[in-house]
C-alpha cells in the first residue's frame, strides 16, 4: 500500500461515512511495508476484517476474490488498495464484491496506472478511470477519477455504492476522493515518475526492490 493512500483513507474515515463491517481485500503487507500503520487501526471501535488469499501480516481471514466466502449483503464498506491489478479475473471479483455488499454499502478501490510492473506474484492490468467505471458497471452508483498528469495518471480511484446509499453521504465521499486526487495524491515519488527517464526509473526500482518483495504475496489467483 502506497503511503499517499493513507491520507485518502484518513480523509474518508473522517467523513463518518464508512460504516462497519469494514473489509479490506488485499490486506497482507508486502515485505518492506510491515512497519507502516495498519488499515485496521483507522477503524477503532468498528468491526474490521483484513482479507487475503494467503496468511500474512494484517490478514484476519483467507478468501479468494473470485469466490468469496462472505454472506450476501453482509459488507457495508469494502476497501481494495492497489490490488485489482493483481487479480486475474477482475470482473468476476467485482461481481463477487457486489454480491456481498449491503444495499447501503460502498466500495473504495484504488489502482496504479503509470507505475512500474510489480508482480505479487503477477501484475495483470492497468485501468483508466473509464476502465474502472466499466469494471464497476454492475453497481448502482459509480464515481471514478485520476490523479497526476492528465495523460499519464499515476493513480486511479473508484467508488461504487448500492441502491440505498444516502445521497448526501455519497456526495461527501465523492467530493473527498476528488479533493484528494487534486491535492493529496501526488508525492515526490509520483513527481519523480513523471520527470525521470524510464531507464533510470527502472534501475532505481530494481535496485530498491528485492526478490523477497517480488513474489512474496500471492493475491487472488486461482
pLDDT in tens, 14-65: 999 999 999 999 999 877 777 888 999 999 999 999 999 999 999 999 999 9
Q: For 142-174, write each residue's pLDDT tens digit.
A: 999 999 999 999 999 999 999 999 999 999 999
Cis peptide preceding 121, ω within 30 of 0: yes
Angle at the Cα of 214 from the Cα atoms of 209 and 215, rounded to 5 degrees: 165
**CB 181 within 8 Å of CB 215:** no
Per-residue b or e along 4-40, where b marks 16 or more CB atoms closer than 10 Å to that residue's CB: bbbebbebbbeeebbbebbbbbbbbbbbeeeeeebbb
Q: For 170-201, write each residue's pLDDT tens digit.
A: 999 999 999 999 998 988 888 888 887 887 77
pTM for the predicted model, two decimal places:
0.89
Closest among 179, 158, 146, 177 to 78, alpha carbons compared? 158
Q: Determine how β-strand 75-81 pairs with β-strand 141-148.
A: unpaired
pLDDT at 152: 92
Distance CA 119, CA 209 (A): 11
Amino acid at each position: 500500500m502506497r503511503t499517499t493512500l493513507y491520507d485518502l483513507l484518513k480523509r474518508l474515515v473522517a467523513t463518518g461515512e464508512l460504516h462497519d463491517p469494514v473489509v479490506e481485500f488485499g490486506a497482507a503487507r508486502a515485505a518492506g511495508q510491515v512497519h507502516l500503520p495498519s488499515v485496521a487501526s483507522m477503524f477503532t471501535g468498528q468491526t474490521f476484517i483484513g482479507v487475503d488469499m494467503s496468511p500474512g501480516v494484517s490478514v484476519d481471514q483467507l478468501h479468494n476474490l473470485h469466490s468469496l466466502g462472505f454472506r450476501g449483503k453482509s459488507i457495508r464498506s469494502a476497501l481494495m488498495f492497489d490490488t485489482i491489478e493483481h487479480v486475474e479475473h477482475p470482473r468476476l471479483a467485482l461481481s463477487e464484491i457486489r454480491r456481498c455488499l449491503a444495499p447501503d454499502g460502498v466500495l473504495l478501490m484504488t489502482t496504479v496506472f503509470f507505475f512500474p510492473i510489480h508482480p505479487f506474484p503477477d501484475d495483470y492490468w492497468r485501468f483508466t478511470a473509464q476502465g474502472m467505471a466499466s469494471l464497476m458497471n454492475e453497481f448502482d452508483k459509480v464515481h471514478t477519477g485520476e490523479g497526476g498528469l492528465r495523460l499519464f495518471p499515476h493513480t486511479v480511484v473508484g467508488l461504487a455504492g448500492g441502491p440505498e446509499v444516502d445521497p448526501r453521504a455519497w456526495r461527501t465521499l465523492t467530493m473527498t476522493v476528488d479533493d484528494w486526487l487534486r491535492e493529496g495524491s501526488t508525492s515526490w515519488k509520483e513527481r519523480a515518475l513523471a520527470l525521470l527517464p524510464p531507464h533510470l526509473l527502472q534501475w532505481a526500482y530494481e535496485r530498491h526492490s528485492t526478490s523477497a518483495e517480488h513474489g512474496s504475496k500471492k493475491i487472488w489467483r486461482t
